[in-house]
């Protein structure tokens, strides 16, 4: 039993009450002997009818008035039963024990459909590959790439997916060494051939750093490389995992571009996804599903209803004959210092003392830092530590020629970016 | 001669050719013996007619086809003379030497108009108080608060301004000590009485840090305190200094709120300004005039055509009888560390070693940092160094209860913000 959030495992070991349901919701489920994993139809008093798989609730949940089901679309919904509702069990999870699920719920994992593109799915970890601990309500990484494919059956409608776990690293623990590992894994897939594109499932916290690193590491890409994550785990109501996975598979399988991009929700609803250039994208909101935004650039493509629409005219075109070169050596001795009022030379000096080779200065405005750091800037220059200036403003360009302070920093060897 | 960018000084010492004009533009100006500082009417071949004061050009400018004039509105415009244009001198700068300018160009500085609110204008430095070095084209701080008042005559139409220079510090060199000095200076003005509001002219790079600091330092404000800056210096075409100053004077003089706010362009055009709460505002673009944005909040007021429209219902109301208390002691031993993939414990450890009392961690997503920093987090906790978590996402809230890593950090004493 590899993960307690796996529907079939849960269904075989828990009844509804053990899966977090209580009060009215538990009563309604028990009345028809429905358990987690069953396919049900819920008719609410106010009208709407929902069909889907009963999902477990966190043990710490105090909600007694919603039944959470995973719909055929892959999208979870919490059905309000406060005004009363009737539940019909369409198919019991126990009927399927030991065998593959039917098409309605779980796609046969190894089915290969002719005419569909083949996409490599490399899972690195993060929310999109996470499960909820139903005892504590906390989210931790667990689902395998195969699980992702299992819980999002629509993936099978857009691509033949070859899933593989290459790591189980939380987004915040990613590092330059991980970037190299991921670049090599992508390279292996692409150079072996047989894939029309590659998806990287990744935690969202630092996905844009990885996207930028891969953009520099993968030279001469013949096919699209698409990073994808999820802001809400795949067994939560309102999870964005299913749509993000499906649309990233469309982008990787059919997108006409051969660049590293990041594909996530284009707005808070579920209408479309956007593909952002790996070097131009940033996580801009802690929780919104459309958290990723292109900065100082337009997204390069829009993915909607199985189609990829290019939003820019200039891009690297898909070309299966192009030869991939991997340059994935990252220097771990590069630091970042964000300046702020009152900053002293301590931070920069400590990195110089530790033998760093380069420091990114996240200065203010057009590229400025406090005067009292100038001595450390000179010292860095003398000791061949490269200082690169960027701005904490987020948007806009650095311009160190406007103010005399910027010009002084240029004269001291600071590189504008 | 206190500032070479002062129009009357420039006019008395330079002719047009010495003030950066060349080629066709110089020819057109010379034909009518027009010099910098003259009030002229330019009729362009394509139709539009412009009236205003001839402004100097940077010595390094290669533009030969525009004459830059400061219009009565305070807004500078570069008039295209490529298709031909006729220039008429309406009033020569030399005619006014030694005396105050007339109402069209420069308001009499000490005029007090009955019925207008009285506003204190404290100048701290920055672009809004800057001039261009016409030899090198670089911008450096110079203009006094009085100069600001001189070059933006419309200020006299909305408020009686009592201008004062309290410092000449570039934005990037502001520090907790400066915040205390500014808070004390505001307090002195407000407690002495006689002002309906206070404007702080400040460089834009760190203006939002100062705005936040003043919000905490000024307790029980009876009147508005409005920070204002400029993205382009006041003697450049397209400078935002004039509109920003006028609208901040309207906000300070007539605004119904008694809070610390920051008043700047509301969009890239000149239609309106927005007042942002001091604790909610951030510089989001290196060069746009509407660079300041309220984050996770709405701006509290809109200023347009001399009127203040409140955009929120809840705010501290103006109350001249309220007693101001100043709490302006800031601990300089508080640092900020922005995390990134590959960060090591060096940065946090160096601040603990240096005896810091607190460190703001700018983590990723909902409030996460790499696991390899946990030992330093524990050490900070043991040594009573307060660690506060915020997110580099910019927008959205911290929530350290969603993922197990957040919960571990909470257990280690990290304070979510």
Residue A195 predicted with pLDDT over 90: yes
Do residue A365 and residue B332 have CB atoms under 8 angstroms apart?
no
Judge contact between B257 and B318, C-beta under 8 A.
yes
Judge contact between A123 and A145, C-beta under 8 A.
yes
Residue A368 DSSP code: B
Put simply, the chain B residues between 391 and 410 with a CB less than 8 A from any chain A CB are 391, 393-399, 401-405, 407
**What is the full DSSP assignment across B136-157?**
T--EEE---HHHHHHH-TTHHH
Judge contact between B75 and B151, C-beta under 8 A.
no
pLDDT score, position A98: 38
Closest CA to B5 of B42, B77, B53: B53
**What is the full DSSP assignment across B282-349?**
EE-BSS-TT-EEESSS--SEEEETTEEEE--S--PBP-TTSPPEE-----S-EEEEE--TT--THHHH
pLDDT score, position A16: 47
Within 10 Å of residue B254's Cβ, how many Cβ atoms? 20
Asked if the ipTM is above 0.85, the reply is no
Whether B118-326 and B7-96 are alike in CATH topology: the answer is no
Residue A318 DSSP code: P
Do residue A393 and residue B337 have CB atoms under 8 angstroms apart?
no
CB pairs under 8 A between A and B: 196
Element (H, E) at A353: helix A346-353
Residue A298 predicted with pLDDT over 90: yes
- CATH class of the region B334-416: alpha beta
Mean pLDDT is lowest, of A220-224, B61-65, B314-318, for: B61-65
- Once rounded to an integer, what is the mean pLDDT over residues B82-109? 57
Name the band, by pLDDT with cuts 50, 70 and 90, for residue B188. very high
CA A267 to chain centre: 15
Put simply, the chain B residues between 181 and 220 with a CB less than 8 A from any chain A CB are 204-206, 209-210, 213
Do residue B399 and residue A335 have CB atoms under 8 angstroms apart?
no
pLDDT digits (tens, 9 = 90+) for B301-342: 999 999 999 999 999 999 999 999 999 999 999 999 999 999
Do residue A175 and residue B337 have CB atoms under 8 angstroms apart?
no
Catalytic residue among B10, B105, B124, B127: B127
**What is the full DSSP assignment across B246-296?**
HHHHHHHHH-SB-SEEEEEESSSSSS-EEEEETTTEEE-BSS-TT-EEESS
Which two structure tokens, joined as six digits, stand for A166? Answer: 């290459």
For chain A, give every domain's residue range. 7-96, 118-326, 334-416
Residue B150 predicted with pLDDT over 70: no
d(CA B266, CA B392): 24
Closest CA to B198 of B188, B212, B213: B188
| CATH number of A118-326, picked from 3.30.2290.10, 3.40.50.1170, 3.40.50.720, 3.20.20.140 | 3.40.50.1170
Residue among A204, A336, A366 minimizing CB distance to B287:
A366
Residues 6+ apart with CB under 8 A from B347: A335, A337, A347, A350, A351, B337
**What is the full DSSP assignment across A182-194?**
HHHHHHHHHHH--
Q: What are the beta bridge partners of residue B361?
A: B337, B389
Catalytic residue among B178, B204, B210, B261: B204
pLDDT score, position A286: 96
A135 contacts in chain B (CB < 8 Å): none
Closest-CA residue in chain B for A362?
B338
pLDDT digits (tens, 9 = 90+) for A10-58: 333 334 455 678 888 888 898 888 887 788 999 877 778 888 888 777 6
d(CA A300, CA A313): 9
Question: What rounded mean pLDDT belongs to chain A?
Answer: 85
Within 10 Å of residue A333's Cβ, how many Cβ atoms? 16
Which two structure tokens, joined as six digits, stand for B53? Answer: 């004061």
Q: Is A123 an 8 Å CB contact of chain B?
A: no
B335 contacts in chain A (CB < 8 Å): 343, 346-347
Residue A104 predicted with pLDDT over 80: no
pLDDT score, position B99: 35
3-state secondary structure (DSSP) of residue A7: helix
Closest CA to B58 of B129, B2, B138, B126: B138
- Once rounded to an integer, what is the mean pLDDT over residues A181-207? 95
Q: What are the beta bridge partners of residue B92?
A: none
Q: Is A10 a catalytic residue?
A: no
pLDDT score, position B187: 96
Which two structure tokens, joined as six digits, stand for A261? Answer: 């991009």
Name the band, by pLDDT with cuts 50, 70 and 90, for residue B153. confident
pLDDT score, position B98: 38
Name the band, by pLDDT with cuts 50, 70 and 90, for residue A403. confident
Residues 6+ apart with CB under 8 A from A130: A139, A140, A141, A142, A143, A230, A233, A234
For A25, phi then psi, to 5°, come to: -60, -45
Do residue A283 and residue B372 have CB atoms under 8 angstroms apart?
no
Residue A392 predicted with pLDDT over 50: yes
Q: Is B205 a catalytic residue?
A: yes
pLDDT score, position A340: 98
Relative to beta strand A225-228, strand A260-265 is parallel
Chosen from A210, A365, A408, A416 to mutate, greatest number of chain B CBs within 10 A: A365
Do residue A341 and residue B209 have CB atoms under 8 angstroms apart?
yes
Residue B403 DSSP code: B
Closest CA to B97 of B199, B214, B194, B12: B12
Q: Is B283 an 8 Å CB contact of chain A?
A: yes
- Once rounded to an integer, what is the mean pLDDT over residues B74-101? 70
d(CA B304, CA B307): 5
Closest CA to B347 of A378, A353, A210: A353
3-state secondary structure (DSSP) of residue A230: coil
d(CA A307, CA A251): 8
Question: What rounded mean pLDDT belongs to chain B?
Answer: 85
d(CA B226, CA B221): 12
Judge contact between B36 and B10, C-beta under 8 A.
yes
Q: A351 CA to chain B: closest CA distance, Å?
A: 7
Q: A130 CA to chain B: closest CA distance, Å?
A: 10
Name the band, by pLDDT with cuts 50, 70 and 90, for residue B290. very high
Judge contact between B338 and A360, C-beta under 8 A.
no
Judge contact between A9 and A65, C-beta under 8 A.
no
d(CA A270, CA A293): 16
Q: Is B204 a catalytic residue?
A: yes
d(CA B294, CA A252): 37
Q: Is A376 an 8 Å CB contact of chain B?
A: no
Do residue B172 and residue A365 have CB atoms under 8 angstroms apart?
yes
Comparing A182 with B10, the larger pLDDT belongs to A182
Judge contact between A38 and A11, C-beta under 8 A.
yes
Residue B78 predicted with pLDDT over 80: yes
Name the band, by pLDDT with cuts 50, 70 and 90, for residue A415. very high
Comparing A135 with A197, the larger pLDDT belongs to A197
Judge contact between A93 and A36, C-beta under 8 A.
yes
A355: left (phi over 0), alpha (psi -120 to 50) or beta: left
d(CA B107, CA B84): 33
| CATH number of A7-96, picked from 3.40.50.300, 2.30.30.520, 3.40.50.980, 3.10.20.30 | 2.30.30.520
- Once rounded to an integer, what is the mean pLDDT over residues B78-106? 63
Relative to beta strand A76-80, strand A66-71 is antiparallel
Highest mean pLDDT among A365-369, B69-73, B236-240: A365-369
Mean pLDDT is lowest, of A96-105, A181-190, A232-241, B88-97, for: A96-105
Q: Is B307 a catalytic residue?
A: no
- Once rounded to an integer, what is the mean pLDDT over residues A304-325? 97
- Once rounded to an integer, what is the mean pLDDT over residues B276-280? 98
Residue B197 predicted with pLDDT over 80: yes
Q: At CA B171, angle to CA B284 and CA A409, rounded to 5?
A: 90
CA A166 to chain centre: 15
Residues 6+ apart with CB under 8 A from A409: A367, A368, A369, A374, A377, A389, A400
Mean pLDDT is lowest, of B17-31, B114-128, B131-145, for: B131-145
- Once rounded to an integer, what is the mean pLDDT over residues A356-372? 97
- Once rounded to an integer, what is the mean pLDDT over residues B28-44? 86
């Amino acid at each position: 039993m590899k993960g307690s959030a796996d529907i079939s495992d849960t269904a075989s070991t828990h009844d509804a009450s053990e899966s977090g349901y209580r009060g009215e919701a538990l009563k309604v489920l028990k009345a028809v002997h429905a358990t987690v994993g069953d396919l049900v139809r819920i008719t609410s008093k106010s009208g709407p009818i929902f069909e889907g798989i009963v999902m477990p609730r966190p043990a710490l949940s105090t909600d007694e008035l919603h039944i959470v089901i995973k719909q055929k679309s892959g999208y979870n919904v919490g059905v309000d039963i406060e005004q009363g509702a009737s539940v019909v069990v369409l198919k019991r999870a126990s009927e399927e024990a030991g065998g593959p699920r039917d098409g309605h719920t779980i796609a046969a994992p190894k089915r290969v459909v002719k005419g569909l593109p083949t996409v490599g799915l490399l899972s690195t970890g993060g929310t999109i590959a996470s499960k909820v601990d139903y005892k504590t309500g906390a989210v931790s990484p667990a689902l395998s790439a195969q699980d992702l494919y299992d819980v999002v059956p629509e993936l099978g409608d857009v691509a033949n997916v070859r899933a593989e776990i290459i790591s189980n690293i939380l987004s915040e623990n990613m590092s330059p060494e991980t970037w190299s590992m991921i670049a090599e894994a992508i390279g292996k897939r692409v150079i072996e051939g047989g894939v029309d594109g590659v998806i990287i499932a990744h935690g969202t916290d630092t996905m844009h750093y990885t996207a930028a690193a891969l953009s520099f590491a993968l030279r001469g890409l013949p096919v699209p490389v698409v990073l994808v994550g999820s802001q809400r785990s795949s067994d939560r109501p309102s999870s964005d995992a299913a749509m993000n996975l499906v649309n990233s598979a469309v982008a990787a399988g059919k997108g006409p571009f051969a660049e590293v991009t990041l594909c996530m929700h284009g707005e808070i609803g579920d209408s479309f996804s956007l593909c952002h250039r790996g070097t131009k994208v940033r996580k801009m909101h802690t929780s919104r599903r459309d958290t990723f935004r292109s900065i100082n650039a337009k997204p390069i493509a829009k993915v909607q209803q199985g189609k990829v629409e290019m939003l820019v005219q200039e891009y690297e075109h898909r070309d299966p004959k192009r030869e991939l070169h991997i340059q994935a050596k990252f220097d771990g001795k590069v630091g970042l210092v964000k300046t702020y009022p009152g900053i002293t030379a301590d931070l920069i000096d400590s990195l110089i003392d530790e033998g760093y080779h380069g420091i990114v200065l996240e200065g203010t405005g057009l590229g400025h830092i406090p005067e009292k750091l100038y001595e450390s800037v000179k010292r860095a220059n003398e000791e061949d530590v490269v200082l690169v200036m960027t701005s904490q403003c987020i948007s806009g360009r650095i311009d160190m020629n406007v103010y005399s302070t910027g010009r002084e920093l240029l004269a001291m060897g600071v590189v504008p970016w």
